[in-house]
Amino acid sequence: MGRSKWWQVLAAIMAFSLLAAACGDSGSSSDEGAGTGGEEASSTTVAVVQDGGSVLDTVINRGKLVCGVSGSAVAFSETQADGTITGFDADYCRAVAAAVLGDAEAVEFVALSASERFTAVQTGKVDVLIRNTTWTQSRDSDVGMDFGPTTYYDGQQLMARASDGFSSDSTIADIDGAVVCVNAGTTTEKNITEAAAAAGVTIDLKTFEESDPVYDGLIDGSCDIATTDGSGLVGRKVKQQPADEEWVIFPSTPISKEPLGPTYLQNDSKWADVINWTVYATIIFDEKGITSANADDMKANPPDGEIERLLGGEGELQTAMGLSADAFYNVVKQVGNYDEIYSRNLNPVGLFRDGSQNARASEGGLMYAPPAR
Amino acid sequence: MDEKREQLDWVAAAEVEGEKPPEVPPHGPVVWARENLFSSVGSGILTVAGLIVALGFFKGMLGYIFGADRKWDAVATNLRLYFTQAYPEDQYVRVWVAVGVAMALAGLSAAIWRANGRITGYKLGGGSFGLAGGLLTLLLLSPFSWRARLIYLLVALVFIGIGQYLRSVRPKLEVPALGVIVGTLAVLVGSLWVVPYGKHTFVDGQVQPPRPGTVAMTTKLPWTVMLLVMIVAYFVGKAVRDKVSPGLAKGLLSAGWMLLLPIDYFVILRDPALDYGQVFRVDVPIFLAFAVAGSAILWWLSSPHRGEIGRVVAGAMVIGAGVFWLAAAFGLSVRQIVRIDLVMLAVVALAAPTFAGEKAIRRKFIIGWVVILALVNYLAMMVNTPSTVDVPGSFPLGGFSLTLLVASATLMMSFPIGLILALGRTSKMPIFRLLSTTYIEVIRGVPLITILIFFKIILNLFLPDGMVLGNEMAAILGYSLFSAAYLAENVRGGLQSIRKGQYEAAAALGMSTPQTTSFIVLPQALRAVVPPLVSGVIATFKETSLLFIIGLFDFLRIGYVVVGGQTAFVGSQRENLLFVAFIYWIITFSISRSSVQLEKKLGLGER
């Protein structure tokens, strides 16, 4: 092999290196590494919070709120036939998006199962979790999350046939000897066992892996009582109660407390304030009678100072939070006040505010918001 | 039964060898029943008992399915959710384009591969009788109205008549199988225009008109177009098949099938938002640089009198590309596509001496390089461009389309991996044997769901900063690696069935090891393991339902929780699960039927 051939080899390798180097320079680090995986980085789970940065800034930069919901909870977050997600929880996602981004539709819903929801909050996969999640001490303190104000006060109740002598005034003491059907492995099971023991009655507990068989049992008589959260029972009663029967729900004070509300990453008070005050704003708007229909009139002629401030006339309260002055105007205009959100989603399944814990504070309920000033 | 099968086998054998089947003495159903069902007292009792059990089961099942209080509306209203989840309505035409591409490929393939199977009148008559029997069972056991039963009875009688005519008058009639398949599809699609599916018809005595949003309204036109696309593609293929070389046509079509999935998903369904400024500033220049400089290097390397130097240069390029790849991990800022292109160029350069020779061959080699480069760069560009499909979640597909995507991507990826693993495990080189064996045994020792959860939750922690693997892609990766291990064992079974004489004969002819493997061993080995391979395909397809466990919105999840979670359809879980099971069954049953055809074509079990 002559000298000249070695020069040729060298030249070929040089050309190859030059090619590599030239292309290397034209590259930028922005799409580094996104080539082989297949899934683009932009649309999935990138919401890593920088040190000191708030989720609020992330959301504003992204232009979209990533909201964790269930996607299969009747009236709270349902996936409709066309794929859209509707419901009480979904509407609160839209309310937050309206407040932060001015557009109630700028939401990317992430449907989460019960087991993965907390991981999703902790890892920043979702900005906020509004997935009928009960606020408890251990969840609040243990797992790296904070809870926002309760949007729905739920609680475990029992449902039985009126023909068996039950009425809405019945208590746990009346269910002695009854066959009680529940879903296996949930707190529901534990609650009813404890309540029965406390009332000194013996029950025959029948557990099912799925919820449909529980209510089939109530229909065909193999169960005397079905028990789960009141919101679930009402939905079943409306949809599945046979025409010739009447099902009653009791006791009027639920045997457990299940306050449901938004959940977010802990120690981010800027973001927490935004979520909390979005919820509070819907409650105040309900209290003051401002609806999506009259929001424009009220903004033009505010009846009092609080409404003027909330609707953005004197908007430094909102701008101090890092929102636009008309953030809450957008919420009520595009999504509605608490009563509108509640009635739209929960009335169709037979859940009404009157007389429940979700009624206005002025009417004996628990829906109460701090003043906006 | 046995006699019938024997007879059919005669027909099949006659097809193969072109001989006339021996005359079958005619006998009626009474003779058949006496010989097969009531041949002795014991078998008579068994027949009656089995019949009663089967009828009782079907009566219960049909009574449940057609019961008046079944909420089949839940399925009918949610069909779109079932098949494509939240794919937006204004972009829905993309779904049909994606299906249409597959249909066109199917039509072309049927023409190019000359699908010329024929079905005899005798067999068709049998099918017609079977259909009539199914209808009769349905109308006898289902809780239908009398009017509906009458209509079903009339249809069944028509089929019996057709069957009788074909069997007794034209048993030797031969119809192209393709025509029968297309005809059946045409009847099914045509029925969309007439029958208002989605509301089980005739139950309360009257036909329900289709309402907006029911199955027929949204599917009849698209499916008609799809069928026409397939037929037109077939005739186009028929027209051109004699004008092009069959090797080229088959090669192009095979490449088309390989590319179907990435093109359908990344280009058509994801609708990437291309930034043309970026494309012309970055992507096109990178491609041109590699096309021009790469071609020059390859042209130089494939020169016939290059000799050993060519191999040295190619080897150096492989090392260089590897170093470059690793350097990126240590912070060298470079586009991923550049690194991929460099590795590709180096690998192609290794093959250069094989193409050394005449200018025509070298030119083909260079053209091949540019085409592959263009494809890879185009797909990488599409993959990296964000999607514009506006869905509530992050992934554009869900439901059945996700199930299908995961299953087909898994099959496409696991086949080559499994093949390599099987060859590695039977190889004489200890390192490869050890690696393959370890891999197979480790993967087979871990439950699939564990692997899926690992890939979904843990894999992202190992990836470099900024690279994120979506849940769906992570699942596909997990499935592929898992099923590759099983596939490798199946293929190994085939490899072991090849006798030593085959290797020795190949060696005697002077074939190298790669040549022996690819031309002598693998074709025989794969042919021997078609049944377990098809079992693997079916298993993989059904295993996609585990996507539900790791929280993805696959077909099962939609039926299991999502539809039952709609206010209107509370308590409809059983109907939804039945529907899901039915669709799974249709798919797996068609796979298994087509594998029977494949086995017949390969002559399995006959030689």
Considering only CA atoms, which of A292, A311, A234 is closest in space to residue A94?
Answer: A292
Torsion of CA B403, B408, B409, B412, to 10 degrees: 160
Is A156-256 CATH 3.40.50.1820?
no
Rounded CA gap, B484 and B478, in Å? Answer: 10
Q: Give the distance from residue B248's alpha carbon to the nearest chain A alpha carbon, in angstroms.
A: 29
> What is the number of residues in chain A?
373
Per-residue pLDDT of chain A (373 residues; tens, 9 = 90+): 455 666 666 666 666 655 555 444 433 333 333 333 333 333 333 344 444 589 999 999 999 999 999 888 888 999 888 888 999 999 999 999 999 999 999 999 988 887 788 888 988 889 999 988 889 888 888 768 899 999 999 999 999 999 988 888 888 888 888 999 998 767 788 889 999 999 999 999 999 888 888 898 999 889 999 998 888 888 888 888 888 888 999 888 889 999 999 999 998 999 999 999 999 999 999 999 999 999 999 988 888 888 988 898 776 788 899 999 999 999 999 999 999 999 999 998 888 998 888 999 999 999 999 998 8
Considering only CA atoms, which of A137, A358, A133 is closest in space to residue A264?
Answer: A133
* List of chain B residues with pLDDT < 70: 1-27, 196-217, 329, 331, 464-466, 604-607
Q: A29 CB near a chain B CB, below 8 Å?
A: yes
Considering only CA atoms, which of A150, A201, A162 is closest in space to residue A356?
Answer: A150
Q: B392 CB near a chain A CB, below 8 Å?
A: yes
B297, B341, B467 ranked by CB distance to A15: nearest:
B297
One-letter amino acid at A97 equals: A
B290, B384, B392 ranked by CB distance to A85: nearest:
B392
Rounded CA gap, B335 and A293, in Å? Answer: 52
- B567 and A348 in contact by Cβ < 8 A? yes
| pLDDT computed for residue A315 by the predictor | 66
Quick check: helix, strand or coil at residue A350? coil
One-letter amino acid at B66 equals: F
Q: Is the dihedral of CA B504, B506, B510, B514 positive or negative?
A: negative
A22, A27, A116 ranked by CB distance to B551: nearest:
A116
Q: Quick one: tokens of A165?
A: 């002598």
Considering only CA atoms, which of B274, B251, B246, B279 is closest in space to residue B114?
Answer: B246
One-letter amino acid at A291 equals: T
Q: Are B405 and B397 in contact (CB under 8 A)?
A: yes
Q: What is the largest CA-CA distance in chain B?
A: 87
* ipTM attached to this prediction: 0.78
Using a 10 angstrom Cβ sphere, with 0-12 exposed, 13-18 middle and 19 or more buried, the burial of residue A17 is middle
Q: Quick one: tokens of A343?
A: 């009635």
A33, A81, A82 ranked by CB distance to B467: nearest:
A33
DSSP per-residue string spanning B440-508: HHHHHTS-HHHHHHIIIIIHHHHSPTT----HHHHHHHHHHHHHHHHHHHHHHHHHHTS-HHHHHHHHH
Considering only CA atoms, which of A189, A192, A246, A251 is closest in space to residue A219?
Answer: A246
Domain regions of chain B by residue span: 2-103+112-226
| pLDDT computed for residue A366 by the predictor | 92
Question: A6, A14, A17, A40: best mutation site toward chain B, by most B Cβ within 10 Å?
Answer: A40
B81, B333, B468 ranked by CB distance to A39: nearest:
B468
Q: Are B536 and B483 in contact (CB under 8 A)?
A: yes
Q: B2 CB near a chain A CB, below 8 Å?
A: no
Q: Closest chain B residue to A69 measured between Cα atoms?
A: B393
Residue with tokens 């020169």: B303
Q: Give the distance from residue B356's alpha carbon to the nearest chain A alpha carbon, in angstroms.
A: 17
Considering only CA atoms, which of B118, B120, B125, B119 is closest in space to residue B165?
Answer: B125
CATH architecture of A55-153+259-363: 3-Layer(aba) Sandwich (3.40)
A19, A43, A73 ranked by CB distance to B565: nearest:
A73
Q: Give the distance from residue B224's alpha carbon to the nearest chain A alpha carbon, in angstroms.
A: 23
- A70 and B316 in contact by Cβ < 8 A? no
Q: Tens of pLDDT along B97-140?
A: 999 999 999 999 999 888 777 888 888 888 899 999 999 988 88
Q: Are A260 and A150 in contact (CB under 8 A)?
A: yes
Contacts of B470 in chain A (CB under 8 A): 37-39, 43-45
Rounded CA gap, A59 and B1, in Å? Answer: 69
- B468 and A45 in contact by Cβ < 8 A? yes
Domain regions of chain A by residue span: 55-153+259-363, 156-256
Q: Quick one: tokens of A293?
A: 């229909």
Contacts of B77 in chain A (CB under 8 A): 81
CB neighbours of A330 closer than 8 A, spacing ≥ 6?
A98, A99, A102, A103, A104
Contacts of A119 in chain B (CB under 8 A): 457
Rounded CA gap, A18 and B220, in Å? Answer: 58
Q: A4 CB near a chain B CB, below 8 Å?
A: no
**Strand residues in chain A grouped as ranges (E):** 65-69, 72-73, 77-79, 85-86, 107-111, 128-129, 145-147, 152-154, 156-161, 179-183, 204-208, 225-229, 247-250, 258-260, 263-265
Contacts of A129 in chain B (CB under 8 A): none
Question: B303, B334, B471: best mutation site toward chain A, by most A Cβ within 10 Å?
Answer: B334
Question: A7, A72, A244: best mutation site toward chain B, by most B Cβ within 10 Å?
Answer: A72
Considering only CA atoms, which of B391, B411, B409, B402 is closest in space to residue B551?
Answer: B402
